[in-house]
Every structure is written in structure tokens, then in C-alpha cells.
Structure 1
């Protein structure tokens, strides 16, 4: 080199003597340039260049490039170049400055090379001329000849490799004797292990054709490993007639002779050694550092003995298994193949082969012949195609499989999986392990033997022998009609298997699948469940249980073959057409309808709302939880219900029925009359079209009579009665203190002993009380209310209501919202409960009549009545002097109407009207009264207050005691008189006379009539006004105002001045 120095680096020892024995301790650090100088002037140091210098031959250059550059030649060459199996980077450089230079000189007798370094000669390779003109002429290297070996050897020195056999100053380590031969390294002088150092002794063309395994490992220690080279799925192929190494079908190494002597480095992928062309007994070893023998004739002769292999495997770099070769295609001889820790596929092909998979998930394919296959650790696959093939697996070495096309096969020890690959019928038998056995398209018989086995039948009508509950069957849809023959105590059919037969002698549980299964039990008490599909269940002898999942399931039971039961999750099931089966049980989660047959059935429901009908026979019906319905058609049927297990119903056509414990409801399904009795629960009892008697008993019951004249016994305030419109004339009988008729029920009868409140509805009700103080309210409708003994109250809402009271049957009251009402016989009291105006009329009894807030008209009739008007402008008709009027303060403007000869208004009543034709004396109170007389000679006295006095026809007398009193008289309505104690008074129209009834002075003034005005004892002033008046002063100094010649003044003698 001239002045330009490629950097170097120190290389540390690895601790592996095989590798360390080749390390000089120094390597290039950076891109390695190379050159083939053609003139000695390219060298600046003396020596070799000065002794017959010449450039090397083109053949030498080609070989040097092959082993240096990955890019040289075709891709098949890549894995054999230093650049291909290390991370070293080569590029062409200048003849004057290149890192590695190749030239020829006579100075070295054979060849020598300088290690990497900083000297001008470092990395230079010199070939000598000693063998020029001989068969070992270094100018003509071939793969496998001495010249080719020498070129590889010297290139190794140039890159930093030392002699394997020789210690040097910097590294005294040598390769171990067992590896010190050209079989492992091109850097040793020993031809074979144990050889002397007296020179190579191999035959012509018997040299290594590539860097060998220790060389590659040492170079990778210096420059790293390249895993990109041949990193795909690479196929390496050889044939016995030539020594060519093919890579993916392309020739990579073409030697002069039919010799194969090389090491393979592969960067990754799933790779294959293809030796299918060989007929020899191949010995293949895929392990790292292993070697393979293809053919004795292709082995290199190393002077009386032969190379131990044709192809050697590279060592692993830092334990990375990517460089391993995974697969082998062997030939037709009796081959021996050993795999490695990768997942190998080893094809034995023809011949009696021995295949050893080693570690990894290996595939061993024996091929034709009686093969010996040992999988080793890992999940291995064996392809068995000969009945004499022998599979060997040790315990706990993975999950292993056999594939075979033989008509029958039994798994050997420690192999788990068996797969049939033929097209006929197959008998496959397992071992004591948990096997997986797979049949083919024929009618296979698969028996897993002991262990939890998986049996896969494939197409065809297959038979599975199952002897463990953990066995499982795998069948494809529409893959034949398949059968399981089971000896275990229970078995469930897997998908797509149709039939199951128990071949044991004990009790058996057999379960089907979604297909149309045939399940056959034995002599024990079997449980057969076909699951989905139209299944046939055949129990045989014993007390069998059938689980029916589809209505089309067929149950076959023999006569007197045990007491049998059907369990079903169907929403409805009937034993009607199932002979010889006694019991039915619902096991579903929804509602269920279960029907028995002519036997004495036990029918059991579930948690849903079940309907159970035992049919003929003395049946036991057990509803369970849920709102259950029991159809009872025999008085001997037994209903079993638990506490709080839903709201349950009995339906029956019997003439009478009483609910048992824990059943809530009773429905009559016949057409005659029915007597239905409840229990202590809240019952719903429903009658039919007849005249039913429904008694709920204790509890809040709902009684539904239906058509017919029904009678309801109500003994709880929460009882309810339901009747349809126009469904007969119905009666509620009750002992409750109060009851209101529901819709469509006509009659209500109290059957208790206390006080009763009975209320009707919109119908024409008949409501009967008893001996207590009853309150009867018919509501809307023309009701008949019959109180019976006691102080009864009747609520009258309709003018057509009829109240019936017995004589001396208590003091009774009618309350009404009608606008008018007249008391019937034997009823004492009447109260208006509305808010409008009311007309209330009494009878011959001493009535109490009470109005409301409206303008009421109250008339007690005969008898000493009490009339209470309440708020509003009320009118009282008083026809007995003993009648009592009660009015509240400020409760309206009220009026008394009376035909009595005299009447004085009580408190808070404003007006008084005389309704007869005789003379009447009417007296007011402190209020501003309006008092109206009649056609007779009435005397009207308003009392205190500003009163209005209306005399009417007749000669009426008005007592005026308040200047605000007013008199209303019609023309020609008699000769009327005002009597007053006021200090002055002037007659109004149509009143003729004025009489002063006081003691003081009085001023009396007439009107235009012919008045008679009479003063008192005081000094009166009397003025008749227009008309022919008569003025009578009385005692006192009176003054008369005479304004008509016809006026007459009458004054007693000595009666003043």
C-alpha cells in the first residue's frame, strides 16, 4: 500500500478453542478494498515485487472475487463469499492503495500473505511460481484443486485468519486436534485429523471447495454474521453423477471432478437439502457443525482415507438458529437422517430409512419401505405408509402425530395423534394417552383406547368406540350417519354424529346433539337426551328418563319396563300418544303446557307459568315456581304447590271444587252451575255460564262469575267481583262493614251482624242491609234500597230509586243530590248533599230535612218537622206550629211559607209569606224582613229592621216600628191600617188608615185617599192630605191640617187645646 491505510481493529478471543485457534488478533475495520495490480510500481516496498513480478491470472481473479464479493457472479454464489456470510464489505480499489492486493512473484516458493495492519504490505497476497506448469499450478484454481485451496487459504490470512495448527506470537491458541483438518478449516496444513505437517496429501481435486465451518465462524467473529444472504426458503441440491452444488436450481460450485467438499451458510428461511436423485445410503446430519455423506464416490480422498462428509454445516453464530437447514429430501436408498433443533421436515422417500428429528417440531416422512422414525423432543409428525414402519417416541417429548393411508393402524407408545390420509375405510386405534384420531372419507372405526381422546371421523358412516367421558368426537356436517358406542357411564354426542349406543351394563346418561339422533340405552336406569333434532330414544329395561327437546322426538318404552319419565324444555308436551311412560317433568325456563295419558301420571312444571293436565287417571300435578295452571278432571287429582311459588290456577269442569294450599286461582271450565271455594290466599275464582256460587274465603279475592245469575261471597274488603255486561242478575253477599258493587253486578246483601255501608253502581241495584245502622247507596240506576232494622241511611241518586223501610225499624235518613225529593213511608230524615237548589218534602213523620248551599225549598209535610236550609236563599214550608226552622247567620235571604193563622220568624230568616186565604198574623225578627200576607185581613209586624210589609187583599194591619219599613198595598185591596210608634209617619199609596200607638207627640200624614188618622196622647199633628180624611187627635194639644172641606176632625172633650 502507498500511504493510504485501511483501519484495523483488535479481535478478542471467544473462549471457544475451535474459533480462537484461527484468530490472528487483528482484522480490518471498515470497507475492504481489493485490487489485482499489473505492475510492480504499485508497491512501495521491496522484496516480492522485485522477483519476477506478474499479475495473477484471470482464473485466479475470478476465484478471488467469488470468495470475496457477494455481488460477483449469480445469486447462487452469495452464501459462499465472505461478504455473503459476514458483514464485511468489499469493493474494488486502486492497485496502489487497495486493502487487499493479489499478485505473483518467484520470491515465495508457493504463496504467502500479510495479516491486516498498518504496514505498506499489510493485506497483500503473493502467489509463487514453484508449481508452475504442473497440475498444481496456482494460476489455474478450480473448486477442489490445490490452487483453489491455496487461494482461499491466502485470502483467509489477508482477512486476519492465522494457521489452525500453529501458535503465533500474538495468539498461541491452536485448533483442537479433533478439528484440526481441512474438513473443518482451510487454514490448517493437516489433511485429516491426526495428520503430520509434512504437506497436503489429498487427491487431485480432493481439497475443500469453500471456506469451512471453523473459517466461517472465525471470520464472523471478526466481521459479524450476515443473515440476509439466502434468507428465503432456499433449496440446495446435488446429484450423484456430478459434484455441482445447486442453489435454487442454479449452479453455484462446479468442480473439476465429481467431488463434493463444502460448507453451507444460510441466512434464514425454511431451507432444504434435496438429495432425491441419490440411490445410495445417505447419511444426513443437519445439526450445526454436522456433516453429511451423500455418496462414497463423491467423498474426497485424503490419502488413504476419505473426508468424513460431503457437505458440512456452519456453526451457529451467537446461538442464532436462523442459519440452520430445516428440511431434507432423501433418495431411494436406506438413508439415515438426523435433524437439528429447528422444525425439520425429513423425507426418507424409498428405502428402509432411519429418521431422527431431534429437538423441534419435526415432520418425518418415511416413504416407501420399512422405516425407523424417531421424532425426539418437540411436536413431531410421522407419515407412515408401510405396516412395518416403526415410530419411536419417548415420554414427555411433545405432542406427536402419525399420518397414514394404511387400512388400519394402532398408535405406539407416547404418540398422541393419528390421522388417516387414505380414501377407504379405516380402523384407527389409540393408546393410553389422550389421542386425537382422524379418519377419512370411508366408514371408519376409531377407538381412542384409554385416555381423553378426540376422534374425528371425516366423511362416511363412522363408528366411534368411546371408553372415557373425556373422549370427544368431531364430525363434519353431512359426513355420513355416524355412531358412538360407549362404555362410560355418560356420554354426549358431539356435533354431526347421529347415533349413540350404550354397550355397558350399568346406568347410562346419553345425550344427543342438533341432528336426528338414535340413542339406545341398556338394562339400567338410563337418561337419554336427544337435544335438538327429531330424535329416537330407546330406553330398554329400567326406570328410564327421557329428555325431549323437539316435539318430533320419538320415545320407545316397553310394557312393564320400569317407571319412566320424560323431561322436556319444550313449551308444550303431551304423553297422550306415548305408551308406557308414566311421568312428565318440565326442565325449561319458560312457560310449559304438560298433558298426561291414561296412566296415573306425575307431571311436574318448572319456574315458568305452567299448564298441567293429567288427563284421565289419578294424577299428581306439581307446578313449581311460576304462575301455574292445573287442569283437574278427577276429584282424586292431587295438586302440589309450594309457598310463594307464583300465582297458580286450577281449571276444572267438576261441579264443585275447593282450592288446596298455596293455589291462588280457580276457573270453572264446564257449562253447568258451579260452586267454587278459595283458601286463605288472595284467590281469583272464575265461574262459567251457569248460576255459580263463588266464595274466595280468607284473602283478597277476585271473583268472576261469567254468564248466569251468580252469587259472590265477599269476606275481605280487598275482594273484587268481576261481571260482564248483561251476564245475568248477580248478587254479592258480604259480612264486611262496607262494600261497593263493581260494574255489572246488580244486587248486594249484607249477611253480617254489625253496621253496614253498601254502595251500588250504575245498574238498577237491590241493596239489602241488616239489623245494624246501614248506609245504602245505590248510585246511578233505579235502585231498591232495603235497610232492615236499625238507623239506616239511604243515598238516593236517581229519581227512580226505591227505599223500603219497615215500620218502627229505626230512625232513617235519606241523603240525595236530586233537585227534589219526597220522603217515602217510615223514613224520618232527608238531607240534600248537592250544591244546587233543592226541593225537599217530608212525610207524616216528624222529619228532619236539611238543605245545602243552594236556594232550597224545604217542606216537612205533616208532623213536627225540623227544617235546616243551610247557605243559600232558602224557602221553608211550615205546616205545623211545632215545625222548627234552623238557619245560620248570613246563610242567604230565606223565606217561610206557611198556611198557619199566625207565624213569627225565627233567627236568621228574612222573609215570611202567608200561603192560605184566611186572616194571618205574621211577625218578623230583627232582620230586614219581607212579610207577605194573603187575601184575608192580615196583621203584619216586621219587628226591628227595615222591613217590607205586603198585605195583599183584605183589610190588613201593618205594624211599623222603623222609619225604613215600607208598605206595599195594591189598589182596592181592602181598607188597610198602619199602626206605628214612630214620631212621624206618612202613609204610602193604597193604605187608608194610620194609627199612632206611641205615647209622645206624633206627626201623621195621609195620602190622596180618604184616610183615617188617629193620634195618641201627645201633641199630634195630623194631616190627611188630599181626600176626605178623618183626623182623630186624642189627648194632647193636637194640630189638624185640613185641606179638604170634607175632612172630619174628631176631638174628645177635654182632650187638649
Structure 2
């Protein structure tokens, strides 16, 4: 903190009363220190400090710092501080020694301050307490209120300013009355000009918010001007609703109310007042000392004065310091109202934006842009630029006020007086017209019309096809390379493009004899009614002499000569390009070295055009023309009308557009072509080729020569007739008539859906989709990779679409369809022959093809083939095929591989050769017997099924019904499934497979011995053979039935039923619940049992009982003559009624004898027996 006491200096008058009237006489010399004492002891003198001393409020300190220090707050504040607009340097000092000190005392009524002096009081500021508690309380200063103005006013005294209206002994000068108001200085007591100065009369928040222009000027005279503050490109912007002042987007002054009342000082740079947020009619004046009105609502109400009681402006501009213009504001960006803007001596840019604005540039090289609306712009002296965006904008420029430019996006503009240059900045075509001055007119990127009028003008076209009007030899045309095709119009008698780069065309408007010379570009040179001389030079030129006897020299390049007069001379040297005469004469013969001839006269007249020995192109008109080509490869085009076209020798081309056109061609007169737009045309004799050049459908017909016929984009029909023809359809859905196998059809990719009509077998060429047979007899039609439609005839056709999703239409006859895509479509009519599908697909069905009988697989893999309701023949290949004929009596031929036949008709025949795999029939028929060479049979129905095998090792599968499965000879596998199934077993190698709980099943066998032991889940066994039978059960409840022989029936575990039948049968009983059934007189039968006791008392037809166990046994007979045999145990044998034979065996046996005929047989030493 600095405690240096600043010295003072005398201030001299400047001679400017406005500024001199504010000098108190002295100023500080050196660094100015400041302080805000908090105790009265900081003051060495008596007086104010002794009257209710107090430090000032924080608001007062903040505003005092704002007005003093450039570094206080943010950078937006800088320009409004004394340190910012002068070279004064402020630093904080001590309360006892600081140069400028601020405090409060009740001694002053309001406030006072002491001007600079080196005594103890110099620079001290005292705020009184008279207004304490009122709206003017000095402790609460804000920008625009009385307390805020008081801070700045008293600081002004402390820095050396006096009252503007008072004469001091040290300076008797007062500010002139015209400037003695708060609008110019805060150091006056006069609120407005003419005020009596007895007290401020402004509204509560209507005080100035900053030092004003005279204050700034006086302080700068005392302390110098600081041009470093805001020396960059600064933007000042104001808010129309709150009155906030922004500097570079940062708020600097936020007023107490929506009022703007301040002065701007700016150190340098290109600066801008931005009022774009305003909708009012702004009045902006950028001149030094000028003022601007933004909004009537933001003007301070001064309580009286010449401006209806309001301040004359919102913002006032600082005066120039010693005429240095660096402090001027250069630019204005206005709002949407109709604004009035005045510039200054700097180079101003004034933007009016919306509204009908009035812009005045003053001196300087100004840019005036009124924006939208009808604007009035005056640049003043300097090289000014006017932005014109409305045809009704007004530009006012006085003589000798610089070289000025109008820049415009309006489509057509004529320069006003005293404006030299015109530049188009739009994007459309432009018509720019100059004035009597030497103008520079610049076009844009489109096609412009530039006319400088009088004066030596410079016309700059830019890109686009531009037109220049040249009326003076001093006019200069500037055209960019590749800047479009441009034209010069001139009424000069002679003009040359030779030295004018990049301009192509020249129009001579004079009716006198004119001379026009081109350059190396492709020129179009036209002239008027005189006898003109036109020379094109290099390039492809067009020379049009108009009326008169003209001399036309094309030079090198492909030139066009327009001939009106029979006296016109066309000069063309050999090898100078391909040249054309366009003539209005009704007859013309081409001269030497000119190739082409075109009639441009009235079409009511016929034209006779004659070529030469070059390759000519001769074009007629709308009447009846006669065109002769002569030697050379000529092109003759009669246009409309009935024309006669005579080609002569050479390969000629005839353009035919009328059905009455006559083409005359001699034999061996070259290879000739007719090009036509007619809907149909047939070649005459001796003409080889035909090309359609129209856009609709076309029918082109050849002759007996080898023709080339070309269609176009329509649906064309091309028929070459006899000869080896080439038919080229082009785009569109074309039809080709092929009557010779050597005919060539050419069709481009994606050029429509095309059809070939052929008289014999044919294979489609590339890019042609469809093929139709129009001949008689059999036909082979082959497609390509596209989606083809191939249509046969009445014969036996073979149709093969090849790759792609094809449609094959067979017609009558026994047709064969080759199918290679599942999406191929077959169309076959009812009763249209016996037809066949041949396919290499892995699966194919003719179920929906109700009129196709047969299906043949031509591939090598596995195949699934499905028939329809007809009697189909379906033939597989070498793979594992599945063939299903569907309804109808079908013939299914599997071939090699393990094939499956789906049989649903008793008339179906499965044909399988020997050693062609393990094959299977799947059927839902109630009964089926396998044919030869088929191994397996599977029932796919739900009812009872009888399945019969053959001599092979068959696998036969039943289903859920009561099936009868008979494998016949061979080692068969019989699988019954659910239901009460019957298995016929005729071979020991037969295998029966039965699922758990899958019904009560039966094995019928003719074998002499059979056991259910190894056949799980089969309950019953029946012998159906002859001779003796040994039948063995399993753990289930078995029923075992023997035959007429001596059978041995053993049910095994379970409660079994054993039926012996005739013969001497043996029943093996291992359960007391076993049931033995024996008929009367059916042989001498025996029960063999290992049970501890068994009685045959109820088995009235069984004679014998034998114990096969090892324990004791109780055996009981019946009324027959029984033989009961015990074992090694202690047996009890009771024969019952009848003469029985009881055989005890070893052990202590007991014999129950109840008949004198009973016989007891006991071996010696076989136990102690009882009778």
C-alpha cells in the first residue's frame, strides 16, 4: 500500500470554453492514492471528522472504485473509469495520507469535496446525512440515481473539476449555456439546458450513469488520454428491456431503472454499437460529441428542457482528444425499426437491418448496408460501398466523393450518378447497367448481362453464360477461364475477339458492312444486313452473316455457315474439320471441303439438297424434300414430309420419320441403315440395317439380307425374316422372331422382360427372359440364369429353364419339364399328354401340378419326391430317396440307395432292383405285402394293420392298432408298437420287438420250438405248425397254445394259461395260478410242476402229474387213470378215482389208494413209505 502524498500542478486553459469551464485550476501530479478511512483519527484537521464521523457504505466504496480504477471489477468496466480514459494512476493508500479519501459526516448537508492541493484537506470527499432514510440516501448509490451521480460528481471535484455553472477565482470561465446540462457534464447543477440550477429536477433514476463527454475531455486535458483501454475491436450492446450496458458481451452498467444515460470512450480498434435487439426507430450519431437515441422509454426524464423534458440522447460519444480519431466508434448494427444512422470520419460500416433506414457515412471509406426494407444511403466523401438488397433502395453520391461501389443481390440494377462500380453478390442471373462514368461492373456465377453504357467501362462476367454490351473501343471485357459461354454485343463496325480471352460469341448489330473476327474458341459470330466479312479462326465456329452478300471463312475446326443469300461465299480449306452449311435457300449443293448441309428455311417449301464426294449429313425441312448424298457414307434426313432419300454409293444412313418417305438404294451400294421413329417399319430392298430411334413400342421387319435390327426403350418386336440376322432390342419388353438358327439376339442387362419366338429348338441367350415355340412338332427349349418363361407347342416338348425361378408351359403332347429351382412354375393343361418333371432338387412335389403325371430325379444325392392324385411314376436316383405317389395307383422306382416308398393306394407299385439298398415301404393301408427287393415295411396309420414281408430279411413296424406282422422267409424284425399285436415267426432268426405295456401280444410260429423268454413284453405264444412243439413263456402272464402234436408248454414265471390241443402234451406249471386247458380225448397229457402241492382234480382231461422239484410234494389226481410221480422228498400221492399209478421215488412217501386198480411203485430202499 502506497502512502506517497501526491503533488499538484497548475492546469492551463485550452481555449475551448466547453472544457475550460470545468477546470478548478489544479490537478494532481503523480500517482493518486485513495482510501476509505474508518476512524476520524485518520484526519489531522478539525471539522467534518468531528460531526458524527462514519466510514462510507460498501455500495459507495464499490461505485467510487468503479469510477476511479480501471482494474476494478471486470474488463467491461474499464472504459468508464477515470483510470481507463485518462493516464491517471490510482493506487490504494493509507487512511491518514491518501490523496483522495472518502468518508461520511453530518456537517455537509449533502456532500462536498476539496480540489487538489497539498494541504491536509486536498482531495478529501465528505458525504452528508441530510437524505438519510430517504430515496436519495447517499449510502445506497446505483447507476442513474442521485447517490450514484454524487459519487462521480464529488470525485470530479477531488480530481480538479469545478462546477460548470460557477466562476471560480482561479478560473472565471463557465461552460457555455448550450452545453451546461447533465447531458454534457455531471459537474453542473443545471439538469437541462436553461435550468436555473437551484436543484436537480430529473426523475429518481434519471441521473447520468457515467462521467459525461465534457468531464472526460477536461480530465484528459489534466491527466492525458489513455488509448490502451478497449483498444481492440470492442462491441457495445444495450438491452431494450433493462437498459444494461454490455461490453464484449459482459455487463458493465446495470442501472437502477430501465434508463440509458452515459458517455462512451473507446481507446481504439474497430468498434461497434450493437442495437440489433431493438425494434424502435433508432437515431444513431457516431460523430465525436454526438448522441444517439435508442428508445424514448429509456431516455432520462430531466423534468424540463428543450427535448420535451427528456435527455436528448441515451448514449453520448466522447470528444476527440487533440483531434485523435482513434477513440471514434466505427460501426453500427441497428435493429428492425426504420433507423437513422450517421457515421463519422472513420471508415464506418453501418448495418440498418430491417426497416426503411437512412444511412449517412460522413467522411471515410464507408460500407452502408440498409438491410431489408427500402433504404436511403449516402456515403459522403471517401471510397464507399453500398449494399443494395431492394430495387427501391436509394444511393446518393455527390461528384468527386471518391470511387464508390454498389454491391447487390438484386437481379437488375442501374448505377446512379457519381457511383463508379457495380458488383453482383447474389446467386441468380444479373443485369447490371452502368452510367456515364468509367464503370467497373462485376457479375456473379450465373448468366449475367453487363452494359457499362457511356464511358470506358470494365465488364467482368465471372462464371455463367454472360452477355457484354460494348459501345466504346475503350470498353474492356474480362472473362474467366471456363466461365461459361459468353457473348459480346456491339454496334461498332469492326470488332475482334482475338485479344479477348475466354469470350466465345460476337454479335455485330450494325447494318453497315461489318467485319467480325473470332479467336481460338468455339465462336458464334452474327452480323446484320450489310455485306459482312466474318472470320472464325480456330475452333468450332458458327458464322451467320444475316442478310446481304457475305463472305464466311471458318478456319480450322468444325464450323457452321448460315447461308441466306445465293451470293454468300463459304470458304473452307481441306482438312479443316467437319463443317456444315445451314441454308434458307430452297436448293443448295455443297461446295468443296464442306461435309454437311441443313435446310433452315420455311417448311412450306420443299428443299433439294445435294452432297459431294465426302461423308455428308444432309437434313431437309417440313415439306417434300429430295436429298441426294452422292459418293461417301452419307446420312440423309428429310424431317417431316414425304421425302425422297437417295444415298448413292457408300454406307448410307436414312432417317425416316414419315411412312411415305422413299428410300432409294442401289444393289451393292454399301451397307446401309434406316433409322426411324415410326411405330413400324419394313426394310426395302438393298438396305441391310434398321434402327429404331423413337421412345414407344416398335415393330421392325427385315428383308432377305443379313439384317441388323435395333429397337429402343419401348416394347419392340424385331423380325429379321430370311437371312442371318442380328436383333438388338434395347430397353423395354422386347419380342424377337427367330426363324433361322444363325440369327443372333442381343439383349442388354436389365433391359426389360424379353421374349424370343422360335420356329425350332432354341436356347435363350444372355439377358432374355422368355421363349415361346411357334413351330410344329417336338421342341427343346432351354433357358438361362434368369427367371424364364418357356412355352412349348402341341408336340412332345422338353423345357429346361436352367438357373433362375422359371415358368414352363408345356401345352399339348407328352412334355418333359426340367426343374432346377424350387420356385420354378409348371403349367400343364388337363388331358394335355403324359408329362414328366425331371429335377435335381433334393425335394420336389407335383401335388399342386394336378395335370403332370411323372416325376424323375436326375441328381446324385438323396431325394424326396411327392406325387399328386394322378397315377404317377416317380423315379428316384442313387441316393436314399423318399417317394410318395400320393393318391392314385402310382409306380415308385427307387433305384440304388436306401429308399422309402410312401404307399397310400393298394394299386401303388414299389419297384426296386436287387442289391439297391435297404428300402422301406411306409403305408397307411390296412394290409400290405412287400414286393421283391424291398426290405422294410412301416405302418403309418392308426387302425389295425396286417404287414407281410418277403424272402428278404425284413423289418416290419406296426403302429397303435392290433397289428399282424409276418416277415415271411428271412431273418425278420417285427416291431408291433401299441395294440394287441400278432407276430408270425417262421425263422429262428426272426426278432420280435414289443414295447412295455404296449398291448397283449401274440407270437404265431411254425417252428418246433419257440421261447418268449428273450422277447420282453410279448404275452402269448401259439404254435401254427404241424408236429411236436416246445413252447416257452416269460415272466409275463402268458397264454401258450400248442398244436396237434405232442407239445411241451412252459409258461415260465407268471400266471400262465397253457393250451395243449391234440397230442400227448406236457404242461410245465410253476405257479398255482397257471391255467392248463386240455380238451377231451386230446391225448395222454402230463403236468410237470415244482410246486409243493398240485392237484389235477379239476383238470379232468389231463392224465398225468410229475413233480420236478426236490422237496416234499403232495400230488392229487382226478377221475382218470392218472400216473402221479413224486420226487426225492416225502411225497403224498393221491390218484383219486380211477386206476392210478403212483410212483413215490426216494423219501418217506404216502400213497392214497382208493381203487383196487391203483398201482404203487416204490423202489427198494427208497425210504419208509405208507400206503
Deviation at 1:154, TM superposition (A): 0.9
- Of 26-35 and 196-205, more deviation after overlay is shown by 26-35
Q: 1:137 to 1:511 in 2, by over 3 A?
A: farther
Counterpart of 2:238 in structure 1 is: 238
Deviation at 1:524, TM superposition (A): 5.6
Deviation at 1:497, TM superposition (A): 2.0
> In structure 1, what is the Cα distance between the partners aligned to 2:291 and 2:79?
17
Deviation at 1:184, TM superposition (A): 0.5
Deviation at 1:539, TM superposition (A): 5.9
Counterpart of 2:293 in structure 1 is: 293
Alignment of 1:35-50 (within 5 A): 35-50=35-50
Alignment of 1:572-721 (within 5 A): none
> In structure 1, what is the Cα distance between the partners aligned to 2:245 and 2:52?
37
> In structure 2, what is the Cα distance between the partners aligned to 1:75 and 1:368?
35
Counterpart of 1:471 in structure 2 is: 475
Q: 3-state DSSP class of the match of 1:403?
A: strand
Q: 3-state DSSP class of the match of 1:102?
A: strand
Q: 1:72 to 1:3 in 2, by over 3 A?
A: closer
Counterpart of 1:424 in structure 2 is: 428
Alignment of 1:495-534 (within 5 A): 495-506=501-512, 508=514, 510=516, 512=518, 515-522=521-528
Q: 1:514 to 1:362 in 2, by over 3 A?
A: farther
User: Would you say 1:406 and 2:403 are equivalent positions?
Assistant: no
Q: 1:161 to 1:395 in 2, by over 3 A?
A: same
Deviation at 1:19, TM superposition (A): 1.1
> In structure 1, what is the Cα distance between the partners aligned to 2:435 and 2:461?
17
Counterpart of 2:139 in structure 1 is: 139
Counterpart of 1:315 in structure 2 is: 319
Alignment of 1:766-805 (within 5 A): none
Counterpart of 1:650 in structure 2 is: none
Counterpart of 2:281 in structure 1 is: 281
Q: Is the 8 A contact 2:470 2:488 kept in 1?
A: yes
User: Would you say 1:338 and 2:338 are equivalent positions?
Assistant: no
Q: 3-state DSSP class of the match of 1:496?
A: coil
Q: 3-state DSSP class of the match of 2:441?
A: strand
> In structure 1, what is the Cα distance between the partners aligned to 2:520 and 2:242?
64
Q: Is the 8 A contact 1:85 1:265 kept in 2?
A: yes
Q: Once the two structures are superposed, what CA deviation does each residue of 1:98-126 show, in whole Å capped at 9, x if it has no partner? A: 11111111121111111112111111111
Q: Is the 8 A contact 2:31 2:90 kept in 1?
A: yes
Q: 3-state DSSP class of the match of 1:500?
A: strand
Alignment of 1:48-197 (within 5 A): 48-197=48-197
> In structure 2, what is the Cα distance between the partners aligned to 1:465 and 1:184?
58
Q: Once the two structures are superposed, what CA deviation does each residue of 1:800-837 show, in whole Å capped at 9, x if it has no partner? A: xxxxxxxxxxxxxxxxxxxxxxxxxxxxxxxxxxxxxx
Deviation at 1:376, TM superposition (A): 1.6
Deviation at 1:21, TM superposition (A): 1.1
> In structure 2, what is the Cα distance between the partners aligned to 1:457 and 1:359?
31
Q: TM-score, normalised by structure 1?
A: 0.51
Q: 1:497 to 1:307 in 2, by over 3 A?
A: same
Q: 1:123 to 1:512 in 2, by over 3 A?
A: farther
> In structure 1, what is the Cα distance between the partners aligned to 2:131 and 2:464?
76
Q: 1:50 to 1:450 in 2, by over 3 A?
A: same
Counterpart of 1:365 in structure 2 is: 369
Q: 3-state DSSP class of the match of 1:243?
A: coil
Counterpart of 2:730 in structure 1 is: none
Q: Is the 8 A contact 1:3 1:120 kept in 2?
A: no
> In structure 2, what is the Cα distance between the partners aligned to 1:388 and 1:77?
43
> In structure 1, what is the Cα distance between the partners aligned to 2:231 and 2:426?
36
Q: Once the two structures are superposed, what CA deviation does each residue of 1:234-269 show, in whole Å capped at 9, x if it has no partner? A: 111112111100111110000010000000111111
> In structure 1, what is the Cα distance between the partners aligned to 2:210 and 2:37?
25
Deviation at 1:514, TM superposition (A): 5.2
> In structure 2, what is the Cα distance between the partners aligned to 1:433 and 1:544?
37
Deviation at 1:444, TM superposition (A): 2.1
Pick from 368, 377, 380 the counterpart of residue 381 of structure 2. 377
Q: Is the 8 A contact 1:144 1:205 kept in 2?
A: yes
User: Would you say 1:202 and 2:195 are equivalent positions?
Assistant: no
> In structure 1, what is the Cα distance between the partners aligned to 2:218 and 2:238?
27
Q: Is the 8 A contact 1:165 1:180 kept in 2?
A: yes
Q: 1:43 to 1:504 in 2, by over 3 A?
A: same
Q: Supply the RMSD in Å over aligned alpha carbons.
A: 3.2
Deviation at 1:453, TM superposition (A): 2.0
Deviation at 1:12, TM superposition (A): 1.8
Deviation at 1:292, TM superposition (A): 0.4
Q: 1:525 to 1:79 in 2, by over 3 A?
A: farther
Q: Is the 8 A contact 1:346 1:365 kept in 2?
A: yes
Q: 1:579 to 1:386 in 2, by over 3 A?
A: closer
User: Would you say 1:218 and 2:218 are equivalent positions?
Assistant: yes
Q: 3-state DSSP class of the match of 2:77?
A: helix
Q: Is the 8 A contact 1:292 1:310 kept in 2?
A: yes
Q: Is the 8 A contact 2:541 2:557 kept in 1?
A: no
- Of 272-281 and 21-30, more deviation after overlay is shown by 21-30
Deviation at 1:389, TM superposition (A): 1.7
Deviation at 1:481, TM superposition (A): 1.0
Counterpart of 1:269 in structure 2 is: 269
Q: 3-state DSSP class of the match of 1:242?
A: coil
Deviation at 1:3, TM superposition (A): 9.9
Alignment of 1:416-565 (within 5 A): 416-491=420-495, 493=497, 494-506=500-512, 508=514, 510=516, 512=518, 515-522=521-528, 535-536=541-542
Counterpart of 2:12 in structure 1 is: 12
Deviation at 1:528, TM superposition (A): 6.0
- Of 472-481 and 149-158, more deviation after overlay is shown by 472-481
> In structure 1, what is the Cα distance between the partners aligned to 2:407 and 2:477?
18
> In structure 2, what is the Cα distance between the partners aligned to 1:378 and 1:95?
56
Deviation at 1:350, TM superposition (A): 1.4
Q: Is the 8 A contact 1:374 1:393 kept in 2?
A: yes
Runs of at least 5 residues in structure 2 that lack an aligned partner in the other structure? 582-591, 594-1171
Q: Is the 8 A contact 2:111 2:154 kept in 1?
A: yes
Deviation at 1:77, TM superposition (A): 0.5
Q: 1:87 to 1:502 in 2, by over 3 A?
A: same
Q: 1:472 to 1:66 in 2, by over 3 A?
A: same
Counterpart of 1:964 in structure 2 is: none
Deviation at 1:178, TM superposition (A): 0.8
> In structure 1, what is the Cα distance between the partners aligned to 2:440 and 2:160?
56
Q: 1:460 to 1:100 in 2, by over 3 A?
A: same
Q: 1:440 to 1:123 in 2, by over 3 A?
A: same
Deviation at 1:472, TM superposition (A): 2.2
Counterpart of 2:1127 in structure 1 is: none
Q: Once the two structures are superposed, what CA deviation does each residue of 1:633-653 show, in whole Å capped at 9, x if it has no partner? A: xxxxxxxxxxxxxxxxxxxxx
Counterpart of 1:875 in structure 2 is: none
Deviation at 1:206, TM superposition (A): 0.2
> In structure 1, what is the Cα distance between the partners aligned to 2:394 and 2:147?
48
Q: Is the 8 A contact 1:469 1:491 kept in 2?
A: no
Pick from 343, 352, 355 the counterpart of residue 356 of structure 2. 352
Q: Is the 8 A contact 1:2 1:96 kept in 2?
A: no
Deviation at 1:76, TM superposition (A): 0.6
Deviation at 1:402, TM superposition (A): 2.0
Counterpart of 1:386 in structure 2 is: 390
Q: 3-state DSSP class of the match of 1:322?
A: helix
Counterpart of 2:1094 in structure 1 is: none
Q: Is the 8 A contact 1:2 1:43 kept in 2?
A: no
Q: Once the two structures are superposed, what CA deviation does each residue of 1:66-106 show, in whole Å capped at 9, x if it has no partner? A: 11111110111011011111111111111112111111111
- Of 404-413 and 541-550, more deviation after overlay is shown by 541-550
Q: 1:252 to 1:467 in 2, by over 3 A?
A: same
Q: Is the 8 A contact 2:267 2:326 kept in 1?
A: yes
Deviation at 1:441, TM superposition (A): 3.0
Q: Once the two structures are superposed, what CA deviation does each residue of 1:980-1021 show, in whole Å capped at 9, x if it has no partner? A: xxxxxxxxxxxxxxxxxxxxxxxxxxxxxxxxxxxxxxxxxx
Q: Is the 8 A contact 1:454 1:474 kept in 2?
A: yes
